Structure 1
Amino acid sequence: SAAFRAADLGMKTVLVERYQSLGGVCLNVGCIPSKALLHVARVMDEVEEVGHFGVTYGKPGLDTDKLRGWKETVVKKLTSGLVQLAKQRKVTVVNGVAQFLDPHHVEVTAGDKKQVVRFDHCIIAVGSRAVKLPFLPPAPRIIDSTGALELQGVPAKMLVIGGGIIGMEMAQVYASLGTRITVVELLPQLMTGADPDLVRPLARRVGKRYE
């Protein structure tokens, strides 16, 4: 967004991106893939809920490979759109990791290749990473939200540490896919910062569904 806005204002703009896909956390491993999976979760929940109205279906089958492929197709389509928007705005995209050399130059490293980019103004928008909990040693069965979105399998049980928006989204997805969920939250309220009047009915609903 910042690069496109700068280009729209007439600035010669260079966008340095360490990953091959544009879009950052939200588009690649955040908002978009999570909403794609939440859509599938909602469909599966509705199949069960309409039974209260007298409409019944067989238990939905789940092909995790196809589901993961569909999610990745959604993300790829949107990232490809960003590439075209960058070209239309004449934003130069440079892949690699940038390191400041001085107040007007960065060195961008991609593999064994390096290049120096000069700038008058710089916007630092590097995104964020999940916090690593020091009391949890590295292990294949301990994953962050990015790992959860890769959907390598549907476990029988899952402990979600953190009852914020991301934690609750992952809990919803996996619960709908058949996983027994336990959510642990340090603070007294789920989704801290949200309006308590909105959180209370959510807490009641998930309290009946999760362990």
Structure 2
Amino acid sequence: MTTKSCIVLVIGGGPGGYVAAIRAGQLGLDTILVEADRAGGTCLIRGCIPSKALIHGASCFEELLSHSGTGKLGISLTSAPELNLGGMMGWKDGIVDRLSQGVEGLLKKAGVTIIKGWASFSDAKHCVVKTQDGDFDLQAEHVILANGSVATELPHIPFSEHVLSSTEALAQTSVPGHLVVIGAGYIGLELGIAYRKLGAKVTFVEGQDRILALYDKEMTRPIEQWMKKHNVDCHLNAKADSVDMIDGKPVLSFTDKQGQSQKVTADKVLVTVGRKPNTQGWGIENMCLDMDGRFVKVDKQCRTAMKNVWAIGDLVGEPMLAHKASAQGEMVAEIIAGHRREFDPVAIPAVCFTDPEIVSVGLSPDEARDAGHEIVTGKFPFAAIGKALTMEAGQDGGFVRITARKSDHVILGIQAVGAHVAELSGEFALALEMGARLEDLAHTIHVHPSLSEATMESALAGLGKAIHASQK
């Protein structure tokens, strides 16, 4: 067994762990990163990046289909495009490989030692890592836990060849004739919409009374309209009961909102009922950490109850987002190096890459009212934005909506739904972090033509003087 010691030991090479390790290395700290898979973690290898690649590929295929026959925009194809899903997956895997190799290169450039294996802790600062090249006995002054999360499996519907998690959904080489998705949250909707564009019949079974329950109905209405237009069935207030194989196909039994038992035959069943922190199988019980429910309890500096043991990302609670993990990882590395930092963002942006996309930063109007604020709101439709119309993106019901405090016009939240609105999330987050007021966004010159003009117009609407929309 090889024995090693270091200043910083990072467990997990996802967007939290690898960022923490790179920053620690840059700051001159002797750092070891342990990762059982490839560098990049769930987000890069089997989550955010590959799913967005599949979504893009599916959208391209749908776009080509729309030009078949009589076509549109003066463009027509004499024959329909052919889909090779295996080829699309190969293209997706190439992107993942390139990014993973890039992360490993950045780690090495920062002087980080990478050990590929599974860590098992016997106490808070000591673990054994089993690798193909033998075992490593590691001792560290500081440990950063960035173990991430895993897909939640329904106990009565275990994963199998025909019951998929999001990981398997991103590795299919043929389009299922009928995909039944359990769960209409962001993961299920992103993948379900992508497979509908690829030609699958898609049915959702959702336990709550609406899709994307974290967002208000005004924001989810355009997605519901897309689903209706594309003949996507959605059973709400429905409980998935079991999956049985009948004549070689999985049949999902569920209880509908009237309490009646229903059955739907599928080719594949995709379970997307959330993710849970990865706390099993690596010795967390030996580390004397306090827990906050299923998550590791930390303070604003991501310190755990054990001195010099830190936890970040999905392991420490909602929102379980890659960019939150990265921000925490960078912060912890800097604190270990002696910098004064704490994790106290005004807002953490969240994006759903559905069709159309959804962005939310800060408080919605209802959340602001519930928090005791008297508010004003400004809303502006993409249907009145020239750039949106030139991109065929203005007729999907999309908009930008700004919520501000009535007394001083300080912006409390910005939400948007529409094509490509994910790219506006940085402006939204910056506005909240800088404590911007409606006047700041209204009087910032935005490029014409661009989608960002909707942000300016929404701020103007909140002030009662939108230029390109009729006044109420």
Q: TM-score higher than 0.5 here?
A: yes
1:134 and 2:148 are equivalent in the alignment? no
1:2 and 2:23 are equivalent in the alignment? no
**Which runs of 5 or more residues in structure 1 are unaligned?**
none
Aligned to 2:130: 109
AA paired with 1:33? P
How many Å apart are 1:202 and its aligned residue? 0.9
SS at match of 1:118: strand
AA paired with 2:58? A
Aligned to 1:43: 60
- Post-superposition Cα deviations, 1:70-123, rounded to whole Å, max 9, x if no partner, equal 111110011110111011000110111111122321111125821111111111
Q: Which moved more, 1:56-65 or 1:180-189?
A: 56-65
Aligned partners of 1:186 and 1:6: how far apart in 2?
Answer: 43
Aligned partners of 1:11 and 1:118: how far apart in 2?
Answer: 14
**Which runs of 5 or more residues in structure 2 are unaligned?**
1-18, 234-472
Q: Which moved more, 1:45-54 or 1:137-146?
A: 45-54
Quote the sequence identity (%).
37
Structure with the bigger RCO (C-alpha within 8 Å, sep 6+) is 1
AA paired with 1:162? G
How many Å apart are 1:69 and its aligned residue? 1.1
Aligned partners of 2:100 and 2:215: how far apart in 1?
Answer: 30
- Post-superposition Cα deviations, 1:37-73, rounded to whole Å, max 9, x if no partner, equal 1111111222344535453323220112211111111
Aligned to 2:192: 171
For the aligned residue pairs, the C-alpha RMSD in angstroms reads 1.7
More helix by proportion, 1 or 2? 1
- Post-superposition Cα deviations, 1:171-208, rounded to whole Å, max 9, x if no partner, equal 12211111000011112232232343221111121133
Contact 2:62–2:198 at 8 Å: present in 1 too?
A: no
TM normalised by structure 1 equals 0.92
Aligned partners of 2:199 and 2:170: how far apart in 1?
Answer: 16
- Post-superposition Cα deviations, 1:143-176, rounded to whole Å, max 9, x if no partner, equal 1100000023211101011111111111122111
More strand by proportion, 1 or 2? 2
AA paired with 1:5? R
SS at match of 2:60: helix
Equivalent residues in 2 for 1:66-105, closer than 5 Å: 66-105=87-126
Aligned partners of 2:26 and 2:133: how far apart in 1?
Answer: 33
1:34 and 2:51 are equivalent in the alignment? yes
Aligned partners of 1:129 and 1:44: how far apart in 2?
Answer: 30
Change (3 A) 1:137 1:24: closer
Q: Which moved more, 1:29-38 or 1:54-63?
A: 54-63
Contact 1:47–1:56 at 8 Å: present in 2 too?
A: no
Contact 1:106–1:118 at 8 Å: present in 2 too?
A: yes
Aligned to 1:15: 33
SS at match of 2:150: coil
